[in-house]
Structure 1
Amino acid sequence: MKRGETIDKKEMAFLEAEKSRWKAVLTRLTAIVHSLAVRNLALRGHREKLFSPSNGNFLKEVELMAQFDPIMKEHINRVQKETSSHISYFSHHIHNELIDLLSSEIISAMVADIKQSKFFSIILDCTPEISHNEQLSVVVRFVSLEGKPHIMERFMGFLEAEESTGQHLASMILKRLEELKIPFMDCRGRSYDNGANMKGKNKGVQSRLLEMNPRALFVPCGAHSLNLVVVDAAKESINATSYFGILQKLYLFTASTQRWAILKKHVNITLKMWSDTRWESKIKSVEPLRYQTAAVRDALIEVRDHTKDSAIKVEAQSPAEGVGSYRLAICSVVWYDLLCQIQHVGKQMQSPSMQFDVATNLLKKTERVLCGYRATGFVAAQMAAKDICEQMNMDAVLNQKRLRSTKRHFSY
């Protein structure tokens, strides 16, 4: 025993060697899973067999590593020789388990960082996923004390919301913080959208959580609040629904390569889909009509004249008439000016390092600019729209829409 020459000495040495080998193999497999997960790449393919054409990114990475790494090469050789009984750790069950372990470690590190800084704020938003289930995203904002203090925002995962009531969402938030062992009493700020179930004064999430922690102040989402200011400023003179409805019709170019080639021949700025979530992102869809209205109209006319499909002729004729009108030219100028005012502010409001005083000054400045534009901007927009009509050889005249007449009966 003192000399270490017991009868099972060789067996113990073999077990230690096997332990070290499996540790080295799992270290490499974990590194592959981590690399693919960071780049949002799919791990699995149609088959789970080595050296198969469609076995997915994970097994392809294993095959590539085996060409240069002797440990992985030896492991693959053992797997191929003993296909019936040898453990490979290449199955999708192992993938999922490794992902869960990595996720747990990452969340633990983030929670430790949050606890070190003590105070934090939470950002919440509900979004339906592709399977039409409502998901609540949870983001924690805090001051990280690692190195130089700096503001951090950490995504803590999705919560599936079975109900969208304020009581149910509030209980989900508290339950998630309890699972992470983060005390809600250390919360000093909350930010949601402007929905009634979130910001409601009586039954909303903000009022229910404020009763539990009076120091967890509620701050409305800056992007949503800024969007409401822009919409209110524009709706007084422009029907947003009809204008963006015409923009939506312009995407007939994307359904055909021939029509897309016609569009590229006329314009330098391609048409962009407009977003449903942020109004400031719609500037990319308005920009072609603001600066290349005549070119877009020429492209629509060429599509109408060269297509043999009667349905496409109608789809091209309707937006061509709308694009060539003085009314839509004014809409394009006004919307582009408004969206330009808020684009820079909207990007700054989304910065993790944004400070309250700076954000307040930006919003007040933007509000003053929009109020000034409401008073004097329409005249300048008319002048710019007249220049657009001159480029298209169109009359700059606002045609009055025919009012719908309603028959009045004697009993009314």
Structure 2
Amino acid sequence: MIHCEATKWKAILQRILDTTLFLISRGLALQGETTQIGDFHIGNFLRIMELIGKYDDVTREHLAKVKENQLKDQSMRGQAHYLSWYSQNEFISLCGEKLLKTILNQRGRGNFYILIDDATLNISHQEQNFFNQDYLKKNEFAIFSPFRAHSLNRVVVNAAKLNHDVLTFFGNIEHFY
């Protein structure tokens, strides 16, 4: 019985993690206006979980249990369901820590490296990313360029593609450099 329950939770967590990684790898928002299962205004995360539930018994049963408690207006406090924004943020944080350890390990093996960290806005429109700037400060030669500068660089690149004079100007600068 315990083995069966552990297998079920492992399957649920794998689906939740896969959905979270899918969304964050594409820079898509997870949350919507509501967390009520079945509501039109749920976010991408719960909508994908509902889609998986159409084809997967484990996910369908899990979502049905959570929805039943939501409809009865019962609190899920003290009951693990891992569908909340808090759980999603925890998954993202754990993935970020694992990714950071991998990058720092690989960084130590090379003479030169570049690290580009793209960010996404959270619900309060604050940039979130996997990395803490303090890790790069350990290398005195590291240069930190905030995401806003990266965005400006993309604007310049796209402007150059659209305007021949701009393309010529930057081409000449590149040539002289």
Structure 2 length normalisation: TM-score? 0.68
1:268 maps to what in 2? none
Specify the alignment match of 2:148 in structure 1.
none
Q: 1:46 aligns with which of 33, 37, 47?
A: 33
Q: For residue 55 of structure 2, give the secondary structure of its aligned residue in structure 1.
A: coil
Partner of 1:159: 133
Q: 1:157 to 1:72 in 2, by over 3 A?
A: same
Q: What amino acid maps onto 1:93 in structure 2?
A: Y
Change (3 A) 1:123 1:191: farther
Q: Which sections of structure 1, spanning at least 5 residues, go unmatched?
A: 1-13, 136-154, 161-170, 175-183, 194-274, 288-331, 346-365, 371-412
Deviation at 1:41, TM superposition (A): 0.2
Give the aligned length: 156
CA shift in 2, pair 1:340/1:51, >3 Å: same
The equivalent of 1:98 in structure 2 is 91
The aligned runs of 1:175-214 (5 Å cut-off) are 184=139, 190=141, 192=143
Unmatched tracts of structure 2, length 5 or more: 145-150
Q: For 1:7-156, list aligned pairs within 5 A.
A: 14-83=1-70, 84=74, 85=76, 86-115=79-108, 117-121=109-113
After superposition, give the CA deviation of every residue in 1:191-239 in whole Å (9 maximum; x if it has no partner): 659xxxxxxxxxxxxxxxxxxxxxxxxxxxxxxxxxxxxxxxxxxxxxx
**In 2 relative to 1, CA 38–278 (structure 1 residues): closer, same or farther, beyond 3 Å?**
closer
**Percent identity between the aligned chains?**
22
Higher strand share: 1
Give the aligned residue type for 1:75: H
* Larger RCO (CA under 8 A, 6+ residues apart): 2
- Highest CA radius of gyration, 1 or 2? 1
Distance 1:67 1:276, change over 3 A: closer
Judged with a 3 Å threshold, the aligned counterparts in structure 2 of structure 1 residues 192 and 87 are, in CA distance, closer, same or farther, namely closer
Over the aligned positions, Cα root-mean-square deviation in angstroms equals 3.8
Q: Aligned partner of 2:137: which letter?
A: I
Q: Could you tell me how far 1:106 is from its partner in structure 2?
A: 1.2
Alignment counterpart, residue 341 of structure 1, candidates 167, 172, 175: 172
**Shift in CA distance, 158/341, structure 1 to aligned 2, threshold 3 Å:** farther
Aligned-pair CA distance for 1:96 = 0.5
In structure 1, C-alpha distance between the alignment counterparts of 2:154 and 2:19, rounded to whole Å: 36
Given that residues 123 and 192 in structure 1 are in contact (C-alpha distance below 8 angstroms), is that contact kept between their aligned partners in structure 2? no
Distance in 1 (CA, whole Å) between partners of 2:61 and 2:155 is 57
Q: Is the 1:279–1:339 contact (alpha carbons within 8 Å) kept by the matching residues of 2?
A: no
* Cα shift at 1:73: 1.2
**Contact 1:283-1:340 within 8 A present in 2 as well:** no
Q: SS of 2:91's equivalent?
A: helix
Residue 122 of structure 1 and its aligned partner are, at CA, apart by 6.0
- Does the aligned pair in 2 maintain the 1:42–1:56 contact within 8 Å? yes
Q: Report the CA distance shift for 1:63/1:109 in structure 2 as closer, same or farther (over 3 A).
A: same
User: In structure 2, what is the Cα distance between the partners aligned to 1:81 and 1:32?
Assistant: 22
Q: What TM-score do the two structures reach when normalised by structure 1?
A: 0.32
| Runs of 4+ with deviation above 4 angstroms | 121-124, 275-280
Q: Deviations over 1:263-306 (max 9, x none)?
A: xxxxxxxxxxxx9658964534643xxxxxxxxxxxxxxxxxxx
The Cα of 1:105 is off from its aligned counterpart by 1.3
Q: Tell me: CA distance 1:340–1:90, structure 2 relative to 1, closer, same or farther (3 Å).
A: same
What is the CA-CA distance between 1:54 and the residue it aligns to?
Answer: 0.6
Give the AA of the match of 2:133. L
Residues 278-335 of structure 1 show CA distances to partners (whole Å, capped at 9, x for unaligned) of 8964534643xxxxxxxxxxxxxxxxxxxxxxxxxxxxxxxxxxxxxxxxxxxx6xx6
